[in-house]
Amino acid sequence: MTTAPKTRFPGLPADAPVALVTIPGAWNAVTLPAAWADRVLDILGTRSGACLEDDAYRHMMWFIPPGTAADWPDTGSLDVRVQGAGTHVTLAGPTGHSPTMRWHRTPGLAPLTSAHELRRAIERIVGPLEKAGELGPVRPCRYCGTLFQGGILLGRMEFASGADRAWYTCAQCWFDTGGACPGHHLTAVQGVPQ
C-alpha cells in the first residue's frame, strides 16, 4: 500500500491510479449504494466535499470529519456504511480515475463533507435513519426510477466476484407492464426530489 505525503487530504494513493489504503485519523468515510447516491449528491450540491464512485462495489463514498457520524444508528440494512480510521478502502488517486472508479467531487482544498449535511440529504430520501433501516434497502424501479423500499424482483445476475446485480420494479410499473401479482407490498420512500 502506498500513501501520499502529508497533504490536505492524507491517505490517497500516490503512486497508483487506484490502491487499497487504510483510512487515517484525518477523516472517516460514508458509503451509499450507487443506485440512489447520485440523488444525495444532487441534494448536497455545493455543500458536498470529495465524492468518489466505485462501479466495482457499486457505491459512492463521501469523506467526513472523524467521529462525526459516531451517533448514527445502524444503517447496514440500507447499505449505508460509516467507516472509521483503520478500515481498508480502495481509493482512486487525487488526480483522476480508473475504468471503475471516478471522482464526482475531487479532494481539493475542502474535501470533507459535514456529517450533519450528509445525513440530512440521506434522510430526504429514506426518511429518519432511526426508522429507515427497519424497512430494508432502498431500490430504484427498473422502469420509472422511483425509489422505494421493498419491491418486486425482476431478475438477478450472479457473478463469481460476489458483485451480484438485481433489478426491481415498483408496484405501479408492475401493474402497468401486465405483471400484476397481488400480495406484494411497497413502502414509498419519503421526500424524494423528482
pLDDT digits (tens, 9 = 90+) for 154-190: 777 776 665 667 777 777 777 777 664 444 444 445 4
CB of 89 closer than 8 Å to CB of 29 = yes
Looking at residue 136, what is its pLDDT? Answer: 73
Buried b (16+ CB within 10 A) or exposed e, 10-34: ebbbeeeebbebebbebbbbbbbbe
Rounded Cα distance between 185 and 190, Å, is 16
pLDDT digits (tens, 9 = 90+) for 14-30: 777 888 899 999 999 99
Looking at residue 163, what is its pLDDT? Answer: 61
Give the predicted TM-score (pTM) of the model. Answer: 0.77
